[in-house]
């Protein structure tokens, strides 16, 4: 059996309890070595076979899983953050289905949550934005034309941009072209929750210059939107004394 496990954004204690138990029992661990914190591998039991998928193709990953299955061992396929965003996980699940190998999926803390925690930010502020757009710039992996960054920017929602820290001038240009005013608050979060985490607060109009000054080119998220501003939001209805909920009677 194969267990897909979200490793979390970096800090080794941001793994779920279920993920930790699966790592400790696995006979084979295939980890995404470009981003998974190697400290997590300290949980592997003696004799566990380790593979770094950064150096492997999908075919090689599947062959390693089949080898473990033949030996009667469970495999943990360890993906950074949560496997469901930019995890290349669906193609593995479908291939395992075709091979008749059972699998399950244990979620993890995505880096976009780690980044918000590091900044003390909430993406969904009443009166500011109630939507989070998770996207990326087209690089060698194309992005459908209807989802180009400038088109998404027109919503002026809270935006999290993955896999694009090496192209900050294009990120900035597209966000501006789409309609974010240049003074809109923005941030670069490098290696959220790792010891070497860096937080750079800036504006949409200064993203490229700020990234350049901080030397950030990879392993970072770009955040943009008024949710990063000072104040300007409404208080929640949920905790408003005058508001009645299913659990509490409102008082005028
Ligand atoms: N599944 C992962 C994303 C993998 S794609 C998740 O849920 O987070 C890889 C991209 O994720 C990187 O290029 C970077 O944009 C982002 N990323 C991953 N870990 C990060 C971290 N600790 N801090 C900031 N960005 C991170």
Please report, in tens digits, the pLDDT of each residue of the chain (252 residues total): 999 999 999 999 999 999 999 999 999 999 999 999 999 999 999 999 999 999 999 999 999 999 999 999 999 999 999 999 999 999 999 999 999 999 999 999 999 999 999 999 999 999 999 999 999 999 889 999 999 999 999 999 999 999 999 999 999 999 999 999 999 999 999 999 999 999 999 999 999 999 999 999 999 999 999 999 998 899 999 999 999 999 999 987
Q: Where do we find the tokens 């820290």?
A: 165
Residue 23 is predicted with a pLDDT of 98
The ligand 1 atom at the shortest distance from the C-alpha of residue 85 is: 1
- CA-nearest residue for atom 4, ligand 1, is 86
- Cβ contacts of 247 within 8 Å, gap of 6 or more: none
HSE toward the beta carbon, residue 175, CA cutoff 13 A: 34
The ligand 1 atom at the shortest distance from the C-alpha of residue 109 is: 7
HSE toward the beta carbon, residue 76, CA cutoff 13 A: 30
Q: Which helix (H) or strand (E) holds 151?
A: helix 149-153
Residue 193 backbone phi and psi in degrees, to 5:
75, 0
The ligand 1 atom at the shortest distance from the C-alpha of residue 110 is: 7
Q: Which helix (H) or strand (E) holds 84?
A: none
Length of the chain: 252
Return the SS3 of 65: helix
Q: Of the residues 16, 159, 219, which should be mutated to test ligand 1's pocket, given the most ligand atoms within 8 Å of the CB?
A: 219
């Amino acid at each position: 059996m194969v267990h897909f496990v979200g490793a979390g954004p970096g800090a080794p204690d941001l793994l779920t309890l279920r993920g930790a138990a699966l790592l400790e029992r696995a006979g084979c661990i295939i980890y995404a070595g470009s981003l998974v914190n190697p400290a997590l591998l300290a949980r592997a039991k003696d004799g566990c076979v380790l593979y770094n998928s950064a150096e492997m193709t999908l075919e090689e990953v599947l062959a390693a899983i089949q080898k473990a299955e033949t030996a009667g061992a469970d495999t943990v396929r360890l993906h950074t953050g949560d496997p469901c965003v930019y995890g290349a996980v669906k193609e593995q699940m479908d291939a395992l289905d075709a091979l008749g190998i059972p699998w399950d999926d244990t979620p993890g803390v995505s880096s976009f949550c780690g980044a918000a925690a590091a900044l003390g930010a909430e993406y969904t502020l009443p009166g500011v934005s109630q939507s989070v757009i998770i996207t990326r710039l087209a690089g060698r992996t194309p992005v459908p034309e209807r989802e180009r960054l400038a088109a998404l920017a027109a919503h002026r929602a809270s935006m999290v941009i993955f896999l694009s820290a090496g192209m900050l001038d294009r990120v900035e240009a597209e966000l501006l072209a789409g309609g974010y005013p240049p003074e809109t608050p923005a941030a670069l979060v490098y290696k959220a929750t790792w010891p070497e985490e860096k937080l750079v607060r800036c504006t949409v109009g200064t993203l490229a210059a700020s990234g350049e000054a901080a030397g950030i080119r990879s392993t970072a998220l770009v955040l943009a939107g008024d949710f990063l501003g000072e104040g300007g939001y409404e208080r929640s209805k949920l905790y408003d004394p005058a508001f009645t909920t299913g659990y509490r009677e409102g008082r005028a």
